[in-house]
Structure 1
């Protein structure tokens, strides 16, 4: 996967990873905002389309497709029927995703997401699901430059940082919001360096306020 055109997301933990652009932590669990936005072709840039690996009957195929969107920790819109990985679709017509999720719960189909408290347990969950594992392996194919925007760099996502370390990403930019000398920002900077920096990968920091990602 080219580091300039893939979209990797961890919606359930509030994380989205955009190779060549960024990884963000919205701070809102089970956030559907990015998924909602990519289904709205009238939003700028208009008619911008991406491939999430889902095909006929909203079934995920992944292998053999041009998939470029990856939800690393699953999401409310994805569910496992036991036979197929499928998704709900949010469009300008029809039921909302939340309504579809409620109906699905009534049929015993639960959303596919990673909610375990530690990186070890999250990794185990990922390893035992074909969709999650496929997306996780794609993370290791990144190259070039990666922006990490608005993420706390906490230890419970160390499995993600470990996979980035195994990739060919050469430089990582990590955002800092507000005073860089606060305890929280100092911890974020220390973790970013500890988790990601190596002899062939540098880590730099920038002010989150200078990158209006929703503008």
Structure 2
């Protein structure tokens, strides 16, 4: 297959002004900002430094830095223990270790994360904003599988006016007339602006918390940076919406048990036009994303109002070979472009 450039992608966007171009961001988006912070190696090194004997044994035995593989192995082992009438105590120990690993991963993302929005150089933030606006200005939507705050920071800092994450405030004492200065407004609650939403965190993200009644988005205030407020919630035993299951089926199961995640996933399933990916490698644990893309493509049926094409960014010859190998799994036209030619951060 021909290896295109991001300039070729932009030519397609300009040529097809009546077609929305959507963007799917994977971990490569964050790694392109700073691989020392957002790579699996960095997360692995953080977690292995924790004083947890069971997790240390697990890392030594499974011998991988890919958390998805580790979680999948733990889930499989737990099922096998039950299937063979194994020790209930051992199963409980494995399940508890799996939960601690997921929480440790979340702690690692938070701990390694840049402290606040202004740690990202202004020029890099502006460049990233321009990259993202290419898609929003076409009428497209932004989908991210990343947990961190980078996308949120770029959108807010550069005042990208046409972005909507679906969140808004509700007047809490609306049953009675009160002067404006006495009105009580809620936290940022997801759902108020879902009909015009164009920013979707497919696997959750640090600012989003499920209270059991609603999904709220944490924000910064005059006293604390956003990450500080997120940390305060976590210290109280609240944890962000965060998909950390093993394979694609388990991830989808997690998604379907949360209203916000379900809405985001279904929105990807309903996309029309074209989809561009950056930093997303379509690995063996991403079956649910390929399924969503094929649903959007109406499984290849020649009907209107469908996803017609996908432009997949690759970094290496190995990445390109991988996409060429799985090309037939996509039920729409596949293009491959060199992700290194996209000016995302610098």
1:194 paired residue number: 328
Kindly indicate whether the alpha-carbon contact (under 8 Å) linking 1:60 and 1:86 is maintained by their aligned counterparts in 2: yes
Task: Give the deviation of 1:95 after TM superposition.
Answer: 1.9
Partner of 2:147: 30
State the distance in 2 between where 1:64 and 1:157 align. 25
Query: 1:23-69 deviations in whole A, cap 9, x for unaligned?
Result: 778xxx632200111121xx3xx553411111112011157642121
Alignment partner of 1:173 is 2:304: no
> Within 2, Cα distance between the matches of 1:50 and 1:130?
21
CA distance in 2, matches of 1:36, 1:64: 20
Match of 1:61 among 179, 191, 197: 191
**Counterpart position of 1:136:** 265
Range that drifts further, 122-131 or 100-109? 100-109
Residue 345 of structure 2 is matched in structure 1 by 214
C-alpha spacing 1:47/1:202, structure 2 compared with 1 (3 Å): closer
**In the superposition, relative to structure 1, how do residues 135 and 5 fare at CA in structure 2: closer, same or farther (>3 Å)?**
same
Deviation, 1:130, is 0.5
1:186 counterpart SS class: helix
User: Structure 1 stretches of 5 or more lacking a match?
Assistant: none
Contact 1:7 1:70 in 2 (8 A): no
Q: Report the CA distance between 1:143 and its aligned residue.
A: 0.9
Written as runs of structure 1 = structure 2, the 5 A alignment for 1:12-91 is 20=140, 30-40=147-157, 43=158, 46-56=159-169, 57-61=187-191, 65-90=195-220
- Which one of the candidate residues 192, 203, 207 is aligned to 2:334? 203
Distance 1:50 1:134, change over 3 A: same
Change beyond 3 A, Cα 1:176–1:21: farther
Alpha carbons 2:281, 2:314 under 8 Å: kept? no
Report if the CA contact (8 A) 1:76-1:112 is conserved: yes
After TM superposition, the runs of 4+ consecutive aligned structure 1 residues lying more than 3 A away are 5-11, 17-25, 62-65
Instruction: Summarize deviations over 1:58-104 as a string: whole Å, max 9, x none.
Output: 0111576421211111111100111110011247x542222111110
Q: CA deviation at 1:8?
A: 6.4
- Greater helix share, structure number: 2
Secondary structure, counterpart of 2:313 in structure 1: strand
Give the TM-score normalised by the residue count of structure 2: 0.50
Query: For 2:291, what is the secondary structure of its paired residue?
Result: helix
* Larger relative strand fraction: 1
Q: CA 1:114 to 1:214, structure 2 compared with 1: closer, same or farther past 3 Å?
A: same
Task: Please give the secondary structure, in 1, of the residue aligned with 2:309.
Answer: strand
Count of aligned pairs: 197
Closer/same/farther in 2, CA of residues 189 and 147 from structure 1, 3 Å limit: same
Displacement of 1:213 in angstroms is: 2.1
Deviation at 1:118, TM superposition (A): 0.7
- Partner SS state of residue 188, structure 1: helix
TM superposition shift of 1:159: 0.4
Q: Which moved more, 1:61-70 or 1:100-109?
A: 61-70
Residue aligning to 1:96: 225
- Over aligned residue pairs, what C-alpha RMSD do you find? 3.1
Partner secondary structure for residue 155 of structure 1:
coil
Distance 1:202 1:98 in 2: 40
User: Residues 188 and 164 of structure 1: is their aligned pair in 2 closer, same or farther, counting only changes over 3 Å?
Assistant: same
| Corresponding residue number in structure 2 for 1:110 | 239
